[in-house]
Amino acid sequence: MTFLSAPFFCFFPVTVLVYFLLPRRGKNLWLLLASWFFYLCAKPVYLTLLLAVIATSYLTGRILAGRKSRGALAACLGLDIVLLFLFKYLHFALSLAGQLLRAAGAYFSTPALEILLPVGISFYLFQAMGYVIDVYRGKVEAEESFLLYALFLSFFPQVVSGPIGRADELLPQFRTEHPFDYDRFRKGLLRFLWGAFQKMVLADRLAVLVNTVYAAPGEFGALQLMGAAVAFSFQIYCDFSGYTDMALGVAQSMGFTLRENFAQPYFARSISDFWRRWHISLTSWFRDYLYIPLGGSRKGTVRKFLNVLIVFALSGLWHGAAVTFVVWGALNGLYQVAGAVTQPARERIFGALHLGREKRLRQGIQLLTTFGLTTVAWVFFKASSLGTASAILRGMLHGPLWVYQSMGLDRWELLAAAAGLLVLLAVDLRAARRDLAGEWLSAPRPVRWLVLWGLLFACLIFGSYGTGYDAQAFLYGFSF
């Protein structure tokens, strides 16, 4: 069951209605049962692993509440990491080992493993690990109620693809009452609709173009390859940001506030700025639970750069069990190291050109440079292999400018995508300075209705769904 499936449109109204009708004592139990049902719809066997992670991290929390046991913490974290490795990285590690051994002349046949990746494992394991570390550090109290803790890890808006929640933010929300708030409810639904627009109208439409070009990069010209790379930058943003908006909207309509995951990332003026705006819940997780424990920036410049590279390489690996993801992560780390190293020189150049920090031209140059660098990095994220990625990057520099060949979208589809991207730009520009949902709520009723109808009918008419449509799974969805 995904947010944009018919079963969810039955599941959600029933869940919300019963949630608000139940007396306070029954609300959390109902949410937990609903969340487990939601999760069961993915595949029943996955639920047992989620339950095991809930049980072990809950017990570890209880042990840590009694005494600060480094052993208990290590055992729990070790178990979580082993689970993640077994389910997500074992096949990758074996095939990598096989390649290395074969290169060294040894015979090694990679066993064919049929391990299904449990839905959302990367998200809820990180959330559980964050919880036990926070308890160990004394940042949060160990949760006494198993029900609340189980709900913390299973809460259906975030269990599949985050945002990765923090115990100090989410657990208290399960303890407070959330009476029906019409304004919050409407804001939540608006946010859900905006997320659906990004996913259905933009991400899945751009995916057709991107997949066509990436499937045979040698058959397209340089401008087409660049276009596809740029399209993927927007596709992945609309896909994941759309998902997050839907998750946050669903939670908001029930009175819960989840962690924000995006803050107009393509308006970033440097790569480090980009990573403060992109997948914020994961970036901050790596910052708090890996970068700072590694020493952060406290142990000298070289160690800081090394820490950045380690964190981003691991972040790349978190995104997928393939070399391309590691390269993507490491490249982002390298960008940041290079950015820090060259900062004085860049400041001097801007100074010589009389381009102060607030000059529009300087902002524009920085914004476009950052966008260009992230787009190049996304090529590795999207490509099926390093060979394909390098073929795409080579094709951007060599070969014909344009090859007359269909890129998968006709001109009407391209027009729809362009119009949708303009809407996205306008919304992001405005959202950077204002509370859009608040503005919408205070607008006259006809304006509110027009906004809702605009989004709804854009999804219904121009959205990618229905017969003959090959549904694109959420890029950050079931494979994480």
The residues that are catalytic are: 319
Distance from first CA to last CA of the chain, Å, rounded?
16
At its nearest, how many Å lie between another protein and the CB of residue 403?
25
Min CB(369)–another protein separation in Å? 37
Shortest spacing between CB 365 and another protein, in angstroms: 39
Cβ proximity to another protein, 31 vs 459, nearer residue: 459
Q: How many residues does the chain have?
A: 480
Binding piece for another protein, criterion CB under 8 A, among 72-80, 225-233, 349-357, 449-457: 449-457
- From candidates 412, 418, 444, 470, binder to another protein by CB under 8 A: 412
Q: Which of 453, 454, 471, 473 binds another protein (CB under 8 A)?
A: 453
Q: Name which position in 145, 465, 478, 479 contacts another protein (CB under 8 A).
A: 465
> Site for another protein (CB under 8 A): which residue of 340, 393, 456, 479?
456
Distance from C-alpha of 312 to C-alpha of 297, rounded to nearest angstrom: 15
Stretch that binds another protein, among 88-96, 125-133, 383-391, 444-452 (CB under 8 A): 444-452
- Angle between helix axes 204-215 and 411-431 (nearest 10 degrees) is 120
Q: Does 466 help bind another protein (rule: CB under 8 A)? A: yes
Identified binder of another protein from the candidate list 6, 106, 112, 345, rule CB under 8 A: 6
- With contacts defined by CB under 8 A, name the span among 148-156, 260-268, 295-303, 448-456 that binds another protein: 448-456
Q: Based on the shown chain and the rule CB under 8 A, indicate whether residue 260 belongs to the binding site for another protein.
A: no
CA distance 237 to 375: 11
Question: How far are the Cα atoms of 95, 112, 114 from residue 91, in angstroms, in the given order?
Answer: 6, 8, 9
Which span (82-90, 122-130, 234-242, 465-473) binds another protein, by CB under 8 A? 465-473
Q: Is the bond into 111 cis (omega within 30 degrees of 0)?
A: no
Interface residue with another protein among 463, 472, 474, 475 (CB under 8 A) is: 463
Measured from the CB atom, the residue of 433 and 445 that comes closer to another protein is 445
**Residues sharing a CB contact under 8 Å with residue 370, sequence separation 6 or more, in sequence order:** 266, 268, 269, 270, 271, 273, 274
Q: Alpha-carbon distance 226 to 224, whole Å? A: 5
- 420, burial (CB in 10 Å: exposed 0-12, middle 13-18, buried 19+): buried
One character per residue 161-200, x = contact with another protein (rule: CB under 8 A): ---------------------x------------------
Quick check: helix, strand or coil at residue 180?
A: coil
d(CA 171, CA 425): 35
Handedness of CA 404, 410, 414, 415 (dihedral sign): positive
Q: Of the candidates 129, 199, 132, which has an alpha carbon nearest to the alpha carbon of residue 164?
A: 129
For 210, 216, 229, 417, the CA distances from 394, given in Å and listed in that order, are 17, 13, 13, 27
Residues touching another protein, count (CB under 8 A): 20
CB of 446 to another protein, least distance (A): 11
Looking at 277-285, 307-315, 397-405, 461-469, which segment touches another protein (CB under 8 A)?
Answer: 461-469
320 contributes a contact to another protein by CB under 8 A: no
Q: Please give the DSSP secondary-structure letter assigned to residue 404.
A: -
Q: Which residues bind another protein (CB under 8 A)?
A: 6, 182, 410, 412-413, 445, 449, 452-453, 456-457, 460-463, 465-469
